[in-house]
Amino acid sequence: MKTVALGLLVASVAAISSIATLAAQRHLQKSTVYAWSADAKPNEWGAVRQVMQAPTPTLDELEIHVSTLAPGKSPHAPHRHQHEELLIVKDGMLETFQDGATRRVGAGGIIFQASNELHNVTNVGAAPATYFVIGWTVPGAAK
């Protein structure tokens, strides 16, 4: 009787695990196109357009947004995070802070931010600065 009960328990756990795996796979981001018409949501430092944030077939998470910083503003204090990022400057002049060093980056410039490095950006120009952010987290990334 104990063997039958143990067998049913193992089979039940395996079935639940399979169902959970299939459910998780259904929510993976598929190929798509996003319209630029996404609403920009104003905030204390400018505005942000959230494009997407979801797991993909190869990433734990892919996040894309477009930020606009008002002159002299920064979206947050210097910080670190697990995911890596590319910032692609559309217009304006940003100053990037990366592990103690600062550099200026204008329109067309690209900033790569490695995982867990202290960083920040500030709009150092006289006009708003807009940049695309593409962030990703790989499976097993160090926290």
pLDDT single digits (tens) 61-81:
999 999 999 999 999 999 999
Over 80: is that where the pLDDT of 1 sits? no
Residue 3, classed as helix, strand or coil, is helix
Q: DSSP per residue over 18-74, as a string?
A: HHHHHHHHHTSPPS----TTSPPEEETTEEEEEEEEE--SS-SEEEEEEEEEPTT--
Measured at the alpha carbon of residue 68, what is the angle toward residues 60 and 141, in degrees to the nearest 5? 20
Q: Give the pLDDT confidence score for residue 78 in this predicted structure.
A: 97
For residue 106, the surrounding DSSP H or E stretch is strand 101-106
**The model scores a pTM over 0.95:** no
Q: Give the pLDDT confidence score for residue 3 in this predicted structure.
A: 60
Cβ-based neighbours of 100, under 8 Å, separated by 6 or more: 118
CA–CA gap between residue 27 and residue 16 (Å, rounded): 17
Select the more confidently predicted residue: 26 or 100: 100
